[in-house]
Structure 1
Amino acid sequence: MTFKPLLKQASGPALGILCFGLVCSAQALSLQVESGEITGVRGIEIQGELYDLTFTDGSFNGIYSADDDGYGQLARGAANALLAASDSGAIGAAANWKEGLKLRGCAASESCTILIPEHSAGAAPSADTTFAVEVIYAQGQFRSVTAKLWPFHAGTDTKHMPDMMYAVLAPAR
């Protein structure tokens, strides 16, 4: 048997497996919505693993667990995964998506910045400065990811900043 007929015979099952895989990964992502606000994203794939992200206000030193100094390369991976989920339409296709949803902790009307800590000078609860990847959320989509890390004083509380909040990463449940 030559390669072309073999490819034709295998294309049906292979295509089915591919489609099943795409459907499964699309269903894995879900928005967490409470009181009309997005509180997080569950089942987002980062570096081949599934994670949950929760959006929250506070300070780096108050939110992150003791001895935490950031997520390393997972921070940029999480930011890019959010952007990819918006670009692919997966966010808009989520079961509880509605037009006009804001992120929890975002009082600004135009856009919000999500801080995902990569590393810090020191560890929580006594870090001095944290360096975060920024994800911009505007008009119902994750729009961009900054190339440079943003230095942020680890004791500054984002509750007093209407357009910023942190993302907390955890392995998917």
Structure 2
Amino acid sequence: MPYTADMRRQPPSADELRGRIPGWGADLDPADRPSVPREKREPTGAHWDFPERQPENAPRERSLEHKFLTPAFGTTTPLHGASGAIRRFAYRRYSEGQTPHWLLLLAGDRVDAWESHLRSFATRHPDNPITESGILAEAGRRPLSSRLGRNRADLKHAWMDPIIVGGPWAAAVVVAWLGVRRLLKPSPTR
């Protein structure tokens, strides 16, 4: 939980900590600290106890562990679509320390990628999976000599990368081809 000025539970006093933890506070006396000349005890000049809060124009995701959002937060990519619903659910339902939270965020990223691909088909420049995925670059830039004998961590899954990246696109092309073929196939007359 973040520190707020109205916290009910106060931290233990120096005497309590000294009695509980052997050696605690050994450097409290400035004469015992070698870094004292470098430390500057100047006032910060802050005119606030807690900074002004940035207005929250749209609901933002925040962890269950936190009482509120930080005073300033980014809004460059607001949540949208099915991926946004998945991410909101991850933040609303699971703590950041739980695996389902992160798995849902990963799923939200994958759904967002596919939403982006689908949106690109409605533009004049749709995604090109052959040139944008790097499949051609893998085959053309010394694929074996750049991987073998170099202790690369990605060597174990390198054979899967073209399948994972290109497989869904190939499947989409096959499904579209079968659909068009079915539509153009003359219906049998009886």
Structure 1 or 2, whichever has the larger Rg, is: 2
- Whichever structure has more strand as a proportion of its residues is 1
Whether TM-score is above 0.5 comes out as no
TM-score (norm 1): 0.23
TM-score by length of 2: 0.21
Normalized per residue, the structure richer in helix is 2
Q: Which has the higher contact order (CA 8 A, sep 6+)?
A: 1
